[in-house]
A and B are shown apart, each in its own frame.
Chain A
Amino acid sequence: MSRMESLRKAYGEQLADSGANDQRIVTLEADLGKSTMSCLFQDKQPERYFQVGIAEQNMASIAAGLALTGKVAFINSFAVFATGRAYDQIRSSIAIPRLNVKICGSSAGLSDFGDGKTHQSIDDIALMRVLPNMTVLSPVDAVETKQMVEAMVDHDGPAYIRINRNDLPVLTDGNEPYYIGKMSRMRDGKDVVVFASGVMVSLALEAAEQLESHGISIRVVNVSTIKPLDTKALANYCEGMKGVVTAEEHSIHCGLGSAIAEALGSSRLPITFLGINDTFGTSAKNYDELMERYGLTSEGIVKKVHEVLEA
């Protein structure tokens, strides 16, 4: 069992570290800094930290103004508010002019398990992915989160990162260079390829163990850059496979699965999708219970693998 680490803490730490070395970096918060962990930046760089109150739309457009004046602006909120509440501001003020605004959608997916459907983001990837000029990132663990923050600073243009509220297994060692667009094979196999993002990667690795005992071998690929999608790598990973499964903590519509299906358009490979089945979330006692409620489990992935092999 891999050790568990907090992605949001890693995010805040790296933001603070990057901010210490790069005076261009400014951080904006809409009163959730102790959850998003942007507070770690505030501790180190209070003069470049702007608390805008509970006003996500204003935050997005203020960030645009900062970026227009030479800054690299990170804005922070829960994923559902950072993307949905401020959608038009992101679209008009930030994405159209390709500004250096980096959007952190924290407590993403179902990870804000207790707060229920108003706070759970099943549509943030969809909203950000449809915007021209936007980069969409979904880190697999704390190590990759730190690498992504550094890459976001260097990236010229807007980028969105969705971050889980809960600690997740550390699956990468950070020894390999990271770049936006990177797609990594976490385990090789010869029957079915599973493309997963975020928490679903570790669940896919668990599914691989279970399937192995049934004589089915799956390749697990971490698709942590959902846009731009490395279609060449995608095609390579599909090479020789009998089917494709996608797994994401997001609506089955317009997220990772849709992106992969669009990219594989003319491929004859059967494909099945695991995600939240066109419904909003609900409150639960804990994260695991909620993930189980929507079938986002290793068993769920095993089932999809069987389905795709039967197709």
Chain B
Amino acid sequence: MVYEESVLKRLRRISAQLRLDILEMIPPGKVGHLGGSSSIADVVAALYFHHMRVNPKDVADPKRDRLVFSKGHAVLAQYAALVELGIVDRSELPKVKTLDGVLQGHPDMDKTPGIEAVTGSLGQGLSISVGMALALRLDGSDSRVYTVCGDGELSEGQIWEAAMAADVFKLDNITAIVDWNGIQATGCTAEIFGIGKLADKWNAFGWNVIEIDGHDMVSILQGLESAKAHKGQPSVLLAKTVKGKGFSFAEGKAAFHNAGLTDEQFAQGREEMRKMLQEVDA
């Protein structure tokens, strides 16, 4: 599939804006999951602003596609998208993780419009998505379910229970996306609990495996289209990403999994995102 330059440019612009919004939720004095939110920002932009069926006027529209963040801690990327879609008011960004705000530390469907489930205790989101996909199929709906998992999260056994179930039930209305950034809370995933050979594992569990570059918009869009077109089995996109992508001081560093930023880092981050926006527009 070939994509028009205007489409790609728009999505790249949105990606940079999402990262800027993510940064705004972690001002000096606050702590937030910068690394895993920015690594998945391009995929989130592609999903919400191009690929998925979204109705910002009615977040409960039964025809909508569902996006579940199984790696709930990276929800800042989803919040940013909900703000850009006008589902959540921009004034909520500075109120994230406060008593007055609707944006919780982890996804909370009761508090935040547009959030589909409660996740955060890792490993449960893919199972929730299996349930959604079963219900959609029972109802004869052509809506799809998208699930973002972390690569570190794959050490939760329940992920593989859900993977088996999606295979047994032949759920081709699910696309899982693994944010394969290679870093988890305390270090490199390969060193902490290196399960390796992700493609072989998902393959063995009965999934259609598609490897993509999670920061290349064409690769992301092609992967999503290919997964949607694939029938008879669930698909997983193994998205190679960089933790902290876009913020030079944070890229590839476990220290920014969940951290506070200095005044200098915050200012630098803003500057880098402004530059990125300018480059897209140039």
Chain A interface (Cβ within 8 Å of chain B)? 26, 47-48, 50, 52-53, 55, 57-58, 60-71, 73, 88-89, 91-93, 96-98
CB pair B135–A69 under 8 Å, yes or no, is: yes
Query: Could you write out 30 A-B pairs with CB less than 8 Å apart?
Result: A26-B134, A47-B138, A52-B161, A53-B161, A53-B165, A55-B161, A55-B164, A55-B165, A57-B127, A57-B161, A58-B165, A61-B124, A62-B127, A62-B134, A65-B117, A65-B127, A65-B132, A65-B134, A68-B128, A69-B135, A71-B138, A88-B124, A89-B124, A92-B120, A93-B119, A93-B127, A96-B108, A97-B109, A97-B110, A97-B117
Q: 5 smallest A-B Cβ distances: which pairs?
A: A65-B131, A61-B127, A69-B135, A58-B161, A62-B131
Q: Mark B95-114, 1 if CB is under 8 A from A, else 0.
A: 00000000000001110000
Tell whether B130 is near chain A: CB-to-CB under 8 Å: yes
**Dominant SS among interface residues on chain A:** helix
Task: Give bound CA distance, A73 to B134, whole Å.
Answer: 12
Q: What is the CA–CA distance of A65 and B147 in the complex, to the nearest angstrom?
A: 12
Residue from A55, A68, A91, A96 in contact with B131 in the complex, judged by beta carbons closer than 8 Å = A68
Besides A50-B169, A70-B139, 10 new A-B residue pairs in contact (Cβ under 8 A), listed by A number? A58-B162, A58-B165, A62-B162, A65-B128, A68-B132, A69-B131, A73-B131, A89-B124, A92-B118, A96-B108
User: What CA separation (Å) do A299 and B132 show in the bound complex?
Assistant: 51
The answer for the CA separation of A92 and B169 in the assembled complex, in Å, is 24
Contact B117 A93 (CB under 8 A): yes
Q: Are B124 and A92 in contact (CB under 8 A)?
A: yes
Cβ of B158 within 8 Å of any chain A Cβ, yes or no, is yes
Determine the chain A residues whose CB is within 8 A of the CB of B224 once the complex forms: none
Chain B's interface: helix, strand, loop or mixed, by majority?
A: helix
Which of B62, B130, B169 is the most central at the interface, judged by chain A CB atoms within 10 Å of its CB?
A: B130
Q: How far is the CB of B276 from chain A (nearest CB, A)?
A: 35
Taken residue by residue from 256 to 278, chain B's Cβ proximity to chain A (1 for < 8 Å, 0 otherwise) reads as: 00000000000000000000000
The reply to whether the CB of B188 lies closer than 8 angstroms to some CB of chain A is no
B213: chain A residues within 8 A (beta carbon): none
Interface residues on B, range: 20 to 34
B140-167 to A contact mask, C-beta < 8 Å, 1/0: 0000000000000000001001101100
B158 adjacent to A65 (CB under 8 Å) = no
Q: How far is the CA of A54 from the CA of B38 in the complex (A)?
A: 37
Q: In the bound complex, do residue A69 and residue B136 qualify as a contact, i.e. CB atoms below 8 Å apart?
A: yes
Q: Which B residues are within 8 Å of any A CB, using their own CB?
A: 62, 108-110, 116-121, 124, 127-136, 138-139, 158, 161-162, 164-165, 168-169
For B62, the closest partner residue in chain A by CB is A70
| A70 interface neighbour in B119, B135, B161, Cβ under 8 Å | B135
The reply to whether B118 and A62 contact each other, CB–CB distance below 8 Å, is no
Q: Which residues of B contact A70 (CB under 8 A)?
A: 62, 135, 139
Contact of B130 among A48, A57, A65 (CB under 8 A): A65
Which listed residue (A48, A52, A64, A88) contacts B128, Cβ 8 A? A64
Given contacts A55-B165, A93-B128, contact A68 B158 (CB under 8 A): no
Chain B minimum-CB-distance residue to A89 = B124
Given the complex, which residues of A lie within 8 Å of B164, measured CB to CB?
53, 55
- Which of A53, A55, A71, A98 contacts B135 (CB under 8 A)? A71
Most chain A CB within a 10 A radius of its CB, from B62, B119, B130, B134:
B134
Choose one: B131, B139, B168; the contact of A64 (CB below 8 Å): B131
Complex Cα–Cα for A73 and B133 (A): 14
- Which residues of A sit under 8 angstroms from B118, Cβ to Cβ? 92-93, 96-97
A65 cross-chain contacts in B, Cβ below 8 A: 117, 127-135
B55: min CB distance to chain A, Å: 16
Task: Write out the residue numbers on chain A whose beta carbons fall within 8 Å of the beta carbon of B165.
Answer: 52-53, 55, 58, 62
The chain A residue sitting closest to B117, CB to CB, is: A68
Query: Would you give the shortest CB distance from A86 to chain B, in whole angstroms?
Result: 10
Select from chain A the residue with minimum beta-carbon distance to B121: A92
**B135 A64 Cβ-Cβ under 8 A:** no
Q: How far is the CB of B73 from chain A (nearest CB, A)?
A: 13
Per the bound structure, the CA–CA distance linking A97 and B121 in Å amounts to: 13
Smallest CB–CB gap between A71 and chain B, Å?
5
Task: Enumerate chain A residues within 8 angstroms of B129, measured Cβ to Cβ.
Answer: 65
Contact B134 A61 (CB under 8 A): no
In this complex, the member of B131, B134, B135 whose beta carbon has the largest number of chain A beta carbons within 10 angstroms is B131
By the criterion CB–CB under 8 Å, are A66 and B134 in contact?
Answer: yes
**Closest Cβ neighbor of B164 among chain A residues:** A53
In the docked arrangement, what's the CA distance between A62 and B132, Å? 8
A58 touches B117 (CB 8 A): no
Q: Which of B116, B120, B121, B138 contacts A68 (CB 8 A)?
A: B116
